[in-house]
């Protein structure tokens, strides 16, 4: 989408230059036509650029796709160092978490059939890494949250609410994984579970350690 907008931006510049040259040549009607086309292209670019930026910040959503790997190391009583590796890019982030449980959440969008027919597929981005202390009662202690993407107050996802003009194009998705225990040297792989949630499974190293412990 960004490439299309760049082409339109170039078209707007060329159209404006042609309009100026036609005006200098005394061809007023030709100049008016070129400036109208250039203005239309510029308006499309101005309206579409924020949407393109938001979409470029997301990734294609494919069911059962591994999106992240987390590795935990205990550094104190109720304190863990979590290494989050985004997949498939391999980008790593390190967080200091307090508590004994963690959860990863993501958000995305799913296009309506009319727009999906244009070849647009659902997209997602990791949103938060949360940690909490699980209490013995029904209500656990409130979680601490780390934002995993730059916060935008008026991005495309936030404008997809019910009744908005964007709701005819796509619907917002909220994908939350289950709360999982944190343990020293525990590794987890997080996958997309369709377009509704995230699933979590022990990573290869954790599976090998668990198998060795049971022998």
Q: Is residue 210's pLDDT more than 50?
A: no
Alpha carbon distance 69, 117 (integer Å): 33
Q: Is residue 139's pLDDT more than 60?
A: no
What is the pLDDT confidence band of residue 206, given thresholds at 50, 70 and 90?
A: very low
Please report, to the nearest 10 degrees, the dihedral formed by the alpha carbons of residues 166, 170, 172, 175 taken in order.
Answer: -170
Q: What is the pLDDT of residues 71-126, one digit of tens each?
A: 999 999 889 999 999 998 899 999 999 999 999 999 888 888 887 887 888 889 99
**Domain spans, the chain:** 2-52, 59-214
Longest pairwise C-alpha distance within the chain: 91
What is the arithmetic mean of pLDDT over 41-49?
Answer: 61
Lowest model confidence (mean pLDDT) among 29-33, 119-123, 131-135, 201-205: 201-205
DSSP β-bridge partners for residue 105: 128, 176
DSSP β-bridge partners for residue 129: 104, 146
Alpha carbon distance 187, 83 (integer Å): 9
pLDDT at 215: 38
Among 170, 175, 172, 182, which Cα is nearest to 197's?
175
């Amino acid at each position: 989408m960004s490439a299309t907008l760049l082409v339109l931006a170039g078209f707007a510049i060329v159209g404006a230059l042609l309009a100026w040259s036609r005006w200098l040549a005394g061809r007023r009607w030709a100049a008016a036509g070129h400036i109208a086309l250039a203005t239309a292209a510029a308006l499309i670019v101005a309206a579409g650029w924020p949407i393109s930026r938001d979409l470029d910040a997301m990734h294609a959503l494919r069911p059962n796709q591994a999106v992240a790997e987390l590795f935990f190391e205990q550094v104190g009583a109720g304190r863990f160092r979590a290494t989050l590796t985004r997949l498939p890019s391999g980008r790593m982030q390190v967080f200091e978490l307090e508590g004994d449980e963690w959860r990863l959440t993501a958000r995305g969008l799913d296009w309506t059939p009319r727009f999906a027919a244009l070849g647009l597929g659902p997209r997602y981005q990791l949103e938060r890494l949360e940690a909490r202390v699980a209490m013995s009662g029904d209500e656990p202690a409130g979680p601490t949250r780390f934002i995993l993407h730059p916060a935008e107050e008026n991005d495309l996802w936030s404008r997809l609410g019910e009744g908005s003009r964007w709701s005819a194009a796509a619907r917002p998705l909220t994908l939350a994984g289950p709360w999982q225990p944190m343990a020293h040297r525990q590794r987890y792989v997080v996958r997309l579970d369709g377009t509704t949630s995230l699933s979590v499974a022990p990573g290869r190293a954790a599976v090998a350690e668990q198998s060795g412990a049971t022998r």
